[in-house]
Amino acid sequence: MPAMNELIFGSIAEITAGYHQKKFSPVEVVKAYVERLTRLQPKLNAFVHVDAKRALQQAEVATASVMRGEQLGLLHGVPLTVKSCIDVAGWPTPAGSLLRKDYVVQVDAPLVARLRGAGAILLGNTNTPEYLMAYETDNSLSGKTSNPWNLERSSGGSSGGEAAAIATGCSVGGVGSDGGGSVRVPAHFCGICGLKPTPGRIPASGHYPEGGGAFAWLGVVGPMARTVADVRTLFEVMAGPDGGDALSAPVPVRAVSEEDVKKLHIGILESDALGKATPETTAAVERAATLLREQGFTVETKRLTGLDRAIELWWYFFGPVVANLIRQGAVGHEEEMSPMLREFVALAMAEANLTYDYFLNACAERDKIRAEILRQMDEVTILLSPVSSGPAFRHGEGNWRIGAKENYRDTMKYSQWLNLAGFPGAVVPVGASPEGLPIGVQVIGRPYEEETILAVGEAIERGRGPWKAPNV
């Protein structure tokens, strides 16, 4: 039997290679992950639902395939998890809400079907804030998820359960979703990698809340894992058009050579609209730039204008518009909403301007801003920036209140503008705070250029050295 760390912290490539070489079996790997998550769940509270029995049954089938020497899929026997707002047949998908506690579907979301088709074994789904509307994973249905680097800190939101599970070896990787940083912030807080793709590259069909119209610009689903290579593998499996996603784009996954990537001009993002990051956060971005320069990349500063209005418009759609929909859907059940969600709705509705003319003009202005940012990135096509202004905050300190120390509209601007513009962004852990909390760096690119972003992220990772696990 191999060492436990070889099983629970192995990459997708290492695990599948171990199967081919008969070093260990899917049954052994899945058992190791189930034992690990069972032990850590009381500490972290990362999971909403665990399907250990079915996972072990699937592992037995996967092991038999290995023993017969059959051709194996990219994810054959790889234990994964899924955020609990994404449909998995037979599982509850509550999205953190008492209002959805009994919601169980019988059909997998397209991205889930693609993971299964590649041989993945799903262990369970993970915790979120209610309706995904906070950067702290806490709700009245399943409680809060803690950061594996410091249990007094938040794992982030809204994919906080997913990030905590992956960082601690309770999952090889999985799927989150991102409407304002909800893949990237938890990845940054927990010290793993994540990708917010361009809307439509991975189908968001089967995700709650549903996307459509102006809202589909904001929200995407994306892979999370401990290494960029694993993020890429998950992206390649899930990417592709689907008729259920209105923004679905038939953009094929393409290979990017190291030679072509090194020809790129990379910018360190500067903008007066984004606020001030902690010294350690700024140092992590500078370190990423240095690691790239040492490998032959050209890196310079790049100032973008227009991000202030992009962030304001993002808040209009994510705040007042979405809050109004939540309020309408919860009529008569307001007391069942978690305190965080009630506060969000109250604050957002206090700023609501929901006239038809204002909404229409906001939609048109969004397109103009997106075009202007694209023009500014004509030559410098990749940007490096913080994910947020600092590392993971303490439980309960983050909120939407203007003037508060950890107000999301101040601290999360670095992530939010990408959702308004529909740009992709990946996170790579690079630095650490004085308290030992991880600090990720955001690699930003133009729409449909995820492959290039991931190639740059992998170069940063290569220069940084091996990934380190939290001691939890």
Q: What is the pLDDT of residues 457-467, one digit of tens each?
A: 999 999 999 99
Is the separation of the CB atoms in 145 and 191 below 8 Å?
no
**Which of 264, 359, 267 lies closest to 313, judged by CA?**
359
> How high is the pLDDT of residue 211?
79
Is the separation of the CB atoms in 399 and 339 below 8 Å?
no
- Mean pLDDT over all residues of the chain? 96
Number of H helices, E strands in the chain: 18, 15
Is the separation of the CB atoms in 83 and 164 below 8 Å?
no
> How high is the pLDDT of residue 179?
97
Total residue count of the chain as it appears in this document? 472
In the chain, pLDDT over 70 holds for what percent of residues? Answer: 100
d(CA 260, CA 251): 19
Q: How many CB atoms lie within 10 A of CB 133?
A: 29
Pairing of β 79-83 and β 173-178: parallel
- Going from the C-alpha of 340 to that of each of 103, 133, 265, 399, the distances in angstroms are 21, 8, 42, 8
Q: What is the pTM of this model?
A: 0.98
d(CA 181, CA 51): 28
Residue 268 per-residue DSSP state = E
Q: How confident is the model at residue 388 (pLDDT cuts 50, 70, 90)?
A: very high
pLDDT tens digits, 89-135: 999 999 999 999 999 999 999 999 999 999 999 999 999 999 999 99
**Which of 140, 136, 139 lies closest to 158, judged by CA?**
136
Pairing of β 438-444 and β 380-386: antiparallel
> How high is the pLDDT of residue 371?
98
Residues identified as active-site: 83, 158, 182
**Which of 293, 291, 299, 294 lies closest to 465, judged by CA?**
291
Q: Show the tokens assigned to 277.
A: 């990051």
> How buried is 418 (Cβ within 10 angstroms: 0-12 exposed, 13-18 middle, 19+ buried)?
buried
- Going from the C-alpha of 43 to that of each of 143, 279, 376, the distances in angstroms are 12, 31, 46
**Which of 24, 435, 38, 423 lies closest to 222, judged by CA?**
423
Collapsing DSSP to helix, strand or coil, 364 comes out as helix
**Which of 163, 193, 165 lies closest to 442, judged by CA?**
193
Q: How confident is the model at residue 402 (pLDDT cuts 50, 70, 90)?
A: confident
d(CA 447, CA 107): 30
d(CA 320, CA 400): 12
pLDDT value at 1 more than 60 = no
Q: Show the tokens assigned to 114.
A: 């693609």
**Which of 67, 59, 132 lies closest to 94, judged by CA?**
132
> How high is the pLDDT of residue 417?
98
